[in-house]
């Protein structure tokens, strides 16, 4: 409470990105209540997009303050509430990613949400905002309490979003499974956090690391138990095998826009806390000299390999497009875990840059592919892969955009996905994790089969009908923004990577001393 009383107006200003989203969500909920039922709720979607843009402007302001032109880098990050809230470039980069993903998903939703399918269309638009606030809180957390609050805010709002198609059995089933498994995973994470508090007497990540190092001999078995509890809990949040069983059913039952949100924004938030917590607890200080340091990153490498193998091989048998995308997401969780597992070395300090570059590429290629699928499934009333049959002859532009996005998902040149996987693989080779690099290459080759299966449907199969497929204006713009960004990150990957590396500083933005 004492820390809360010390918050000044200047400190509150640093919370502007989150507060602007909260205010927008409250205002939109009141508008929704006051508007007559007969009035179209599309306006609320546009206002939600404006809210994300305002929040992004505040984040950019924070970035400018931390990266003053001519100042010697690094600039000390802003810390509030006893270092439980951190405004550093790590958090700011993730916040921009969350807001970009949310804005794109809201934009593709505007005008495309049918009341007969989602009765509460107003709620559908503004419920994305508190979920994104939860993700942003997770990115800025330097303390277990704030981290868990953000995690639960994102989770609970996501449960509601998944069940929005309440007239559909699949949506109800997916929401129920998500609530149950999500509750279990939250309990597992909280159980691990309780051990950390018991061993250290603190909830601050930096202080916990020091306490663990001071009492390593006494608490070694309990530290390993805590490590595995955290990996299991975070593994659920990012849908990494073997903690992935909820994803296919939830992706299939959720509204398509919510599927995109879970696949991109929610997953990215999971990687933000995974990176911050694992490195802050087990990847710095005197614990580097202890066996748990190597074992922690070895365990993450095993989970990464399992996710890549399970995701890609099970995707081969999928005929439902949403389930295929779910297993593709599981495989991509494996690729994104690899930079965390390789740790830092004398010749390798670009773990964060590799992971974040691939997250940027993944955001655009995944949202774009799901937007194309939304248009096609709406036209054909079919959610299977065969709904893409003959798409090139019915909508050539959509088919070409989808090819670009699928090539990036498969990791082929010259796309953002190709360079994302390449940078990750080169990082593993620098750290001599040759077996992990072999898994990346092998599973990427396997993924060609099911991604090219969709391309084969579009160009080499006859559709059930020859009626042209037309995307709405917002869907079409979203698809081509994503396709263009996918190509730009493929043609100019060094520009993006250099920007990330210029901003991110290991000792300042990650290690909390």
pLDDT of 347 reads: 61
**What is the span of the domain harbouring residue 93?**
2-510
Using pLDDT thresholds of 50, 70 and 90, give the confidence band for residue 460: confident
The first and second tokens of residue 83, run together, are 């270092």
Using pLDDT thresholds of 50, 70 and 90, give the confidence band for residue 303: very high
Distances in Å between the Cα of 24 and the Cα atoms of 29, 48, 100, 112, 201 are 9, 7, 16, 21, 38
Q: Does 27 or 70 have the greater pLDDT score?
A: 27
The first and second tokens of residue 493, run together, are 């990957």
What is the pLDDT averaged over residues 408-431? 91
pLDDT of 313 reads: 95
Nearest-angstrom CA–CA distance, 78 and 269? 20
Q: What is the pTM of this model?
A: 0.93
pLDDT of 285 reads: 78
Share of the chain above pLDDT 90, in %: 58
**pLDDT above 60 for 328:** yes
Question: What element of type H or E holds 218?
Answer: helix 216-237
Q: What angle do CA 48, 51, 56 make, to 5 degrees?
A: 130
**pLDDT above 90 for 510:** no
Nearest-angstrom CA–CA distance, 193 and 202? 10
pLDDT of 511 reads: 61
Q: Does 238 or 284 have the greater pLDDT score?
A: 238
pLDDT of 470 reads: 86
**pLDDT above 50 for 242:** yes
Nearest-angstrom CA–CA distance, 210 and 205? 9
pLDDT of 116 reads: 67
Which tens digits make up the pLDDT trace of 497-506? 988 888 887 7
The residue among 320, 332, 264, 268 whose CA lies nearest residue 106 is 264
* Sequence-distant (≥ 6) Cβ neighbours of residue 351 within 8 angstroms: 339, 340, 342, 343, 344, 427
Q: Does 139 or 39 have the greater pLDDT score?
A: 139
pLDDT of 62 reads: 87
pLDDT of 1 reads: 43
The rounded mean pLDDT for the chain is 88
Nearest-angstrom CA–CA distance, 326 and 366? 11
Greatest C-alpha distance within the chain: 71
Q: Looking at the 3D structure of the chain, how many domains does it have?
A: 1
Of these ranges, 39-48, 205-214, 296-305, 373-382, the one predicted with the greatest mean pLDDT is 296-305
Which tens digits make up the pLDDT trace of 384-399? 888 898 889 888 999 9
């Amino acid at each position: 409470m004492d820390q809360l009383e010390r918050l000044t107006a200047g400190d509150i200003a640093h919370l502007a990105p989150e507060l602007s989203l909260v205010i927008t969500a409250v205002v939109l909920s009141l508008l929704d209540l006051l508007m007559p039922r007969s009035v179209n709720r599309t306006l609320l979607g546009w206002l939600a997009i404006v809210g994300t843009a305002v929040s992004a402007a505040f984040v950019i302001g924070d970035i400018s303050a931390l990266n003053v032109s001519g100042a010697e880098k690094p600039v000390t990050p802003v810390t509030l509430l006893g270092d439980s809230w951190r405004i550093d470039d790590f958090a700011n980069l993730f916040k921009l990613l969350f807001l970009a993903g949310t804005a794109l998903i809201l934009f593709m939703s505007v005008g495309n949400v049918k009341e007969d399918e989602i009765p509460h269309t107003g709620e559908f638009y503004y419920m994305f905002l508190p979920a994104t606030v939860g993700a942003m809180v997770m990115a800025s957390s330097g303390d277990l309490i704030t981290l868990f609050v953000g995690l639960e805010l994102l989770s609970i709002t996501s449960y509601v979003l998944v069940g929005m198609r309440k007239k559909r059995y699949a949506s109800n089933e997916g929401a129920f499974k998500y609530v149950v498994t999500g509750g279990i995973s939250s309990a597992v994470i909280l159980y691990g956090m309780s051990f950390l508090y018991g061993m250290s007497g603190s909830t601050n990540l930096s202080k916990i690391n020091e306490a663990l190092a001071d009492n390593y001999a006494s608490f070694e078995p309990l530290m390993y138990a805590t490590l595995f509890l955290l990996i299991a809990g975070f593994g659920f949040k990012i849908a990494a095998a073997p903690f992935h069983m909820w994803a296919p059913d939830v992706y299939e039952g959720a509204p398509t826009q919510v599927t995109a949100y879970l696949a991109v924004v929610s997953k990215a938030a999971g990687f933000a806390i995974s990176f911050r917590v694992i490195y802050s607890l087990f990847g710095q200080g005197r614990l580097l000299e202890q066996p748990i340091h190597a074992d922690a990153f070895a365990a993450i490498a095993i989970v990464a390999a399992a996710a890549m193998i399970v995701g890609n091989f099970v995707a081969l048998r999928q005929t439902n497009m949403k389930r295929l995308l779910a297993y593709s997401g599981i495989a991509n969780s494996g690729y994104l875990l690899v930079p965390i597992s390789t740790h830092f070395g004398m010749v390798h300090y670009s773990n964060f840059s590799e992971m974040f570059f691939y997250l940027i590429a993944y955001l655009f290629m995944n949202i774009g592919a799901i937007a194309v699928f939304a248009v096609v499934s709406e036209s054909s009333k079919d959610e299977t892969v065969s709904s893409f049959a003959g798409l090139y002859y019915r909508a050539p532009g959509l088919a070409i955009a989808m090819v670009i996005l699928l090539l990036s998902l498969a990791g082929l040149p010259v796309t953002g996905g190709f360079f994302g996987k390449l940078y990750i693989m080169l990082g593993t080779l620098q750290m001599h994790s040759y077996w992990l690099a072999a898994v990346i290459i092998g599973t990427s080759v396997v993924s060609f089969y099911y991604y090219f299966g969709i391309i084969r449907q579009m160009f080499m199969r006859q559709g059930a009908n020859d009626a042209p497929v037309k995307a709405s204006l917002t869907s079409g713009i979203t698809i081509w923004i994503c396709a263009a960004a996918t190509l730009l990150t493929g043609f100019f990957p060094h520009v993006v990577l250099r920007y990330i590396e210029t901003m991110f500083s290991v000792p300042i933005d990650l290690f909390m001393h």
